């Protein structure tokens, strides 16, 4: 008879018949009974791309992370492939002169993201490329959508996001990552992708993306923090809500999402667990810039053991039920796992 663990633990003998420390006594025993494991195949590596040639520009608020010109992004992709990381995610740092009210650079075939995608596919065809679908890197207002009278418009934004997604798919993206949180965008993108013959392009939807204070360093990295007027609470989720996340997952799956994401990750592990338990679909979490910066900054100051907290934080996602993690630690963690 199978046991339902939600009804409580199985009966067991009392001490000393049961000693939990027996299976912790040495490394071999600990490895035998470990319930969850990490692999480089669990990681998607977010990479920031900028204009220029041979440019590596450190991001002050994200120690160890740089903006890279397209040629160096290609080298990063080669590095990821050599470490068995299956995918990278591109985020552009757009020249402020190209940021406009109409955000037309977002679907320019020659924008940074599309040029980087084509260059990577030429050099490392086996690595999967994920792209970001949102208007904030191209928007003079710093928002993920068009702003009118201080409010971000939904339907007009979705029309633009569809054009952006098609532009990225035409450039060779394998995974489209809508991070905008507009209503109806997954269905619109899926319909357009199918109509244009992109039947194998996956959608990894930022389904439960919270209006979080942990995004600050990322906005520095893509140059959106200075442009942003107001906040994103009218379209990103309220951190106090959990059930809403499950409703959003159900909606995005019904509209054609292949995979779903919870963002941020570490502060929302309960949501990761609930999504995986309730839906059983490929579930990802984003260990966002602020989470990375906290751990990395504390480790650089000697307050935490950097390698150990890195690996422990990543294991938490697996234990919560995640199938994969977007993390800036991807190369470093993969080296530890392959050592």
- Nearest CA to 145 out of 117, 123, 164 is that of 164
Q: Could you report the per-residue pLDDT of 18-52, keeping only the tens digit for each?
A: 999 999 999 999 999 999 999 999 999 999 999 99
* 19 belongs to a structural domain: no
Q: Which two tokens stand for residue 249?
A: 């997952």
Structural domains in the chain (count): 1
208: in domain: yes
| 91 confidence band (pLDDT: 50, 70, 90) | very high
| pLDDT over threshold 80, residue 290 | yes
The answer to whether residue 259 sits within a structural domain is yes
For residue 53, which phi and psi values (nearest 5 degrees)? -140, 130
- 311 within some domain: yes
Can you read off the two tokens belonging to residue 238? 């309220």
Q: Which domain holds residue 245?
A: 50-338
CA angle (185, 112, 101) in 5-degree steps: 55
Q: Report, as an integer, the average pLDDT of 279-304.
A: 97
Q: For position 106, which CATH number holds?
A: 3.20.20.70
Is the residue at 12 inside a domain? no
Q: Answer whether residue 8 is part of any domain.
A: no
Q: Is 24 domain-assigned?
A: no
Q: Which residues are catalytic?
A: 209, 263
Q: How confident is the model at residue 1 (pLDDT cuts 50, 70, 90)?
A: very low
Asked whether the predicted pLDDT for residue 230 surpasses 80, the reply is: no
Q: Inter-axis angle of helices 185-195 and 243-255, to 10 degrees?
A: 20
- At residue 210, the pLDDT reads 97
B/e letters for 287-310, b = 16+ CB within 10 Å, e = fewer, are bbbbbbbbbbeebeeeebebeebb
Output the CA torsion 228→230→233→239 (10° steps). Answer: 80
pLDDT tier for residue 224 given thresholds of 50, 70 and 90: low
Cα–Cα distance for residue pair 108/163, rounded to 1 Å: 9
Quick: pLDDT tens for 193-222: 999 999 999 999 999 999 999 998 887 888
State the pTM of this model: 0.93
In a domain, residue 35? The reply is no
């Amino acid at each position: 008879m199978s046991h339902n663990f939600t009804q409580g633990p199985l009966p067991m003998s009392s001490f000393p018949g049961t000693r939990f420390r027996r299976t912790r006594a040495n490394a071999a025993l600990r490895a035998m009974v470990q319930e969850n494991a990490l692999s480089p195949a669990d990681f998607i590596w977010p990479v920031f791309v900028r204009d220029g040639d041979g440019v590596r520009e450190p991001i002050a608020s994200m120690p160890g992370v740089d903006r890279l010109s397209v040629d160096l992004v290609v080298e990063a992709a080669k590095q990821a492939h050599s470490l068995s990381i299956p995918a990278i995610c591109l985020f552009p740092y757009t020249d402020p002169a190209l940021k406009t009210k109409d955000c037309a650079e977002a679907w320019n075939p020659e924008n940074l993201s599309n040029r980087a995608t084509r260059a990577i596919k030429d050099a490392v065809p086996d690595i999967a490329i994920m792209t970001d679908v949102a208007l904030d890197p191209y928007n003079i207002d710093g928002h993920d959508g068009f702003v009118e009278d201080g409010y971000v418009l939904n339907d007009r934004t979705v029309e633009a996001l569809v054009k952006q997604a098609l532009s990225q798919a035409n450039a060779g993206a394998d995974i489209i990552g809508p991070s905008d949180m507009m209503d109806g965008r997954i269905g619109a993108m899926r319909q357009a992708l199918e109509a244009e013959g992109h039947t194998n392009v996956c959608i990894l939807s930022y389904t439960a993306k919270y209006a979080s204070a942990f995004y600050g360093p990322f906005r520095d990295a893509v140059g959106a923090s200075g442009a942003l007027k107001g906040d994103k609470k009218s379209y990103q989720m309220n951190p106090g809500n959990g059930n809403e996340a499950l409703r959003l997952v159900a909606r995005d799956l019904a509209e054609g999402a292949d995979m779903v994401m919870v963002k941020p990750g570490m502060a929302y592990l309960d949501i990761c667990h609930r999504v995986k338990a309730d839906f059983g679909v490929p579930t990802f979490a984003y260990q966002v810039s602020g989470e990375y910066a906290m751990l990395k900054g504390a480790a650089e100051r000697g307050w935490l053991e950097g390698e150990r907290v890195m690996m422990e934080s990543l294991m938490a996602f697996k234990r919560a039920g995640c199938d994969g993690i977007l993390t800036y630690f991807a190369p470093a963690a993969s080296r530890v796992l392959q050592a």
